C-alpha cells in the first residue's frame, strides 16, 4: 500500500512537471502554486496594493499620462484584486479553516431602509456587505455612507495590516484612485472607519474601497475625527447596535486634488448616529456632528454637536425619511449630548 502511494506521488509530480515544460504552466502546476501560496506570508503579492506614481506602468512613451491610461489602471487594479484573491481565499478556507473570529459575529449585515437617507432614481447607490453609500461621480467622493455598528463588531483580531486603498469596481464610472491622493497633503479619510470592524477581516477590508474615502486634513483625520469614531464605538458596546451616517458637505467651488481624477476636498464633514429599535420607538435617539475639515487642536467634540435638521440644511439631504413622521421629527429637531454620554 505504501509503495502504491509513492508511485502515485511520483506520477503526480511527473505530470505536473510535464505541464510546466517550456514555461507553460498547466492546471496541476497552477494548483500547486496556489496551494503553496497559502503558506507564504512575506512574498505573497498584496491584492490591495495601489501603486504610487513612481511605481506605475501607465504613462505614455513621452512620460505624459492620458485619460485612457487612467481608465485602464482602474480596471487593472480591480482585476488584480479579483483574480489574486478568489482562488487563494477558497483554498485558504479549505486548508486552514474559517477564521475563528468570524464565527462569533452574526451574519445579518443588511442596512434597514429607515437608516438610509431619501434616495432619488438618479442616485448611484453602491452596496457592500455592511455599508451602503451614494457615490458622487462629479466629485469622486461619496455623498453619504451608512453602516450598521454593533458592539461585537468592535472586538476581535482583524488588522489594518498591509491593507491598501483600492478602487471600487461597483462604482459605475470607476471610483477615485489611491494615487489621486498621493503627495496631495491630504489623508485618505475613511467615512466608515476600519476600526469599527475588528471582528471580521473581510468587513474591515471593505472599508478600504476608495468609494468610502474623502480627502481630510491630516490633523483633523487623526485628531478629533478619530476621537469621535472611538467614542461612537464605545456607545455601540453600550447600546449593542447603532446606525451611523457619515459624509462630506459638498458645495460648489471646492478645491480638487488628483492625478487621474478631480477629487473634491470638502470644507466640512458630518456624522450622525441613530439608536432605533422598531419594537420600542419611544427610546429612539440621534446625535449629529458637523465639523470643519481643518486641524481642531484642543477642541472638544461636543462643541460640534448640531441637530440633524442642521445637517440636512447644509447638505440638502433628507435623513431617516422612512421613520414614522413623529419619531423622525423628534430625532431631527435636537441633539442631546447628555443623553448619549450619561450612563444608561
Domain boundary among 96, 125, 140: 96
Domain that holds residue 321: 110-341
Contact indicator for 335, 341 with CB cutoff of 8 Å: no
* Same domain flag for 159 and 10: no
If 0-12 CB within 10 Å is exposed, 13-18 middle and 19+ buried, where does residue 256 land? middle
- Out of 96, 123, 158, a domain closes at 96
The sign one gets for the Cα dihedral 257, 264, 271, 238 is: negative
Which of 53, 72, 96 is the C-terminal boundary of a domain?
96
Same domain, 115 and 92: no
89 domain-assigned: yes
Amino acid 36: pLDDT: 46
| Cα 325 to the center of its chain, rounded Å | 31
147 and 83 both lie in a single domain: no
Catalytic residue among 128, 147, 190, 329: 190
Count up the domains in the chain and report the number. Answer: 2
Instruction: Tell whether 79 and 44 lie within a shared domain.
Output: yes
Q: Which long-range contacts (CB under 8 A, 24 or more apart) does 318-321 make?
A: 318/117, 318/118, 319/117, 319/118, 319/245, 319/272, 320/114, 320/115, 320/117, 320/274, 320/286, 321/116, 321/117, 321/118
Q: b/e string for 99-112 if b means 16 or more Cβ within 10 A?
A: beeeeebeeebebe
**Is-catalytic flag, 190?**
yes
In a shared domain, residues 90 and 115: no
CATH code for position 188: 3.40.570.10
Please give the pLDDT value at position 144: 98
Q: Are 74 and 142 found together in one domain?
A: no
Torsion (CA) 308, 311, 316, 321 in degrees, nearest 10: -20
**Looking at the domain assignment, is residue 104 inside a domain?**
no
Report the run of H or E that residue 218 belongs to, with start and end: helix 218-221
Q: Is residue 336 part of a domain?
A: yes
Within a domain: residue 103? no
Question: Measuring CA to CA, which residue among 142, 154, 156 is closest to residue 270?
Answer: 142
Q: Where are the alpha helices (DSSP H) in 57-134?
A: 67-96
297 inside domain: yes
Same domain, 54 and 177: no
Whether 69 and 178 map to the same domain: the answer is no
Instruction: Kindly state whether residues 115 and 141 are assigned to the same domain.
Output: yes
Confirm whether 296 is domain-assigned.
yes
Is residue 155 in some structural domain?
yes
Task: Identify whether 105 is part of a domain.
Answer: no
- State the pTM of this model: 0.72
Cα angle at 91 between 85 and 95, to 5 degrees? 140
What is the residue-level pLDDT of the chain in tens, covering all 344 positions? 656 666 666 666 665 554 444 333 344 444 444 444 444 444 444 333 333 433 333 333 333 444 444 444 444 444 444 444 444 444 344 333 444 444 446 567 889 999 999 999 999 999 999 999 999 999 999 999 999 999 999 999 999 887 789 999 999 989 999 999 999 999 999 999 999 999 999 999 999 999 999 999 999 999 999 999 999 999 999 999 999 999 999 999 999 999 999 999 999 999 999 999 998 888 999 999 999 999 999 999 999 999 999 999 999 999 999 999 999 999 999 899 998 987 55
Q: Are residues 309 and 222 in the same domain?
A: yes
Nearest to 274 by CA among 262, 264, 288: 288
Do 92 and 118 reside in the same domain of the chain? no
Same domain, 207 and 246: yes
Amino acid at each position: 500500500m505504501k509503495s502504491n502511494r509513492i508511485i502515485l506521488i511520483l506520477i503526480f509530480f511527473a505530470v505536473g512537471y510535464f505541464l510546466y515544460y517550456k514555461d507553460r504552466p498547466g492546471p496541476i502546476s497552477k494548483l500547486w502554486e496556489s496551494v503553496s501560496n497559502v503558506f507564504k506570508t512575506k512574498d505573497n503579492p498584496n491584492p490591495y496594493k495601489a501603486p504610487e506614481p513612481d511605481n506605475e506602468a501607465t504613462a505614455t512613451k513621452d512620460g505624459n499620462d492620458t485619460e485612457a491610461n487612467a481608465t485602464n489602471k482602474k480596471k487593472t487594479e480591480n482585476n488584480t484584486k479579483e483574480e489574486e484573491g478568489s482562488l487563494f481565499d477558497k483554498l485558504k478556507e479549505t486548508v486552514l479553516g474559517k477564521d475563528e473570529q468570524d464565527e462569533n459575529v452574526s451574519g445579518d449585515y443588511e442596512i434597514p431602509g429607515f437608516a438610509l437617507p431619501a434616495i432619488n432614481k438618479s442616485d448611484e447607490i453602491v452596496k457592500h456587505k455592511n455599508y451602503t453609500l451614494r457615490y458622487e461621480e462629479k466629485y469622486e467622493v461619496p455623498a453619504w455612507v451608512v453602516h450598521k455598528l454593533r458592539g461585537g463588531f468592535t472586538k476581535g483580531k482583524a488588522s489594518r495590516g498591509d491593507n491598501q486603498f483600492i478602487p471600487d469596481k461597483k462604482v459605475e464610472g470607476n471610483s477615485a484612485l489611491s494615487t489621486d491622493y498621493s503627495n496631495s497633503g491630504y489623508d485618505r479619510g475613511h467615512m466608515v472607519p476600519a476600526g469599527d470592524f475588528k471582528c471580521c477581516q473581510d468587513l474591515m477590508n471593505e472599508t478600504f474601497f476608495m468609494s468610502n474615502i474623502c480627502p481630510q486634513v491630516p490633523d483633523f483625520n487623526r485628531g478629533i475625527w478619530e476621537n469621535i469614531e472611538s467614542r461612537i464605538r464605545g456607545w455601540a458596546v453600550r447600546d449593542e447596535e447603532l446606525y451611523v451616517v457619515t459624509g462630506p458637505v459638498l458645495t460648489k467651488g471646492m478645491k480638487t486634488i488628483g492625478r487621474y481624477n478631480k477629487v473634491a476636498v470638502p470644507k466640512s464633514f458630518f456624522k450622525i448616529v441613530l439608536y432605533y429599535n422598531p419594537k420600542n420607538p419611544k427610546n429612539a435617539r440621534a446625535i449629529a456632528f458637523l465639523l470643519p475639515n481643518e486641524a481642531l487642536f484642543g477642541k472638544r467634540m461636543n462643541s460640534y454637536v448640531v441637530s440633524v435638521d442642521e445637517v440636512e440644511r447644509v447638505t440638502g439631504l433628507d435623513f431617516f425619511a422612512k421613520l414614522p413622521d413623529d419619531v423622525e421629527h423628534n430625532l431631527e429637531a435636537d441633539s442631546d449630548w447628555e443623553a448619549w454620554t450619561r450612563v444608561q
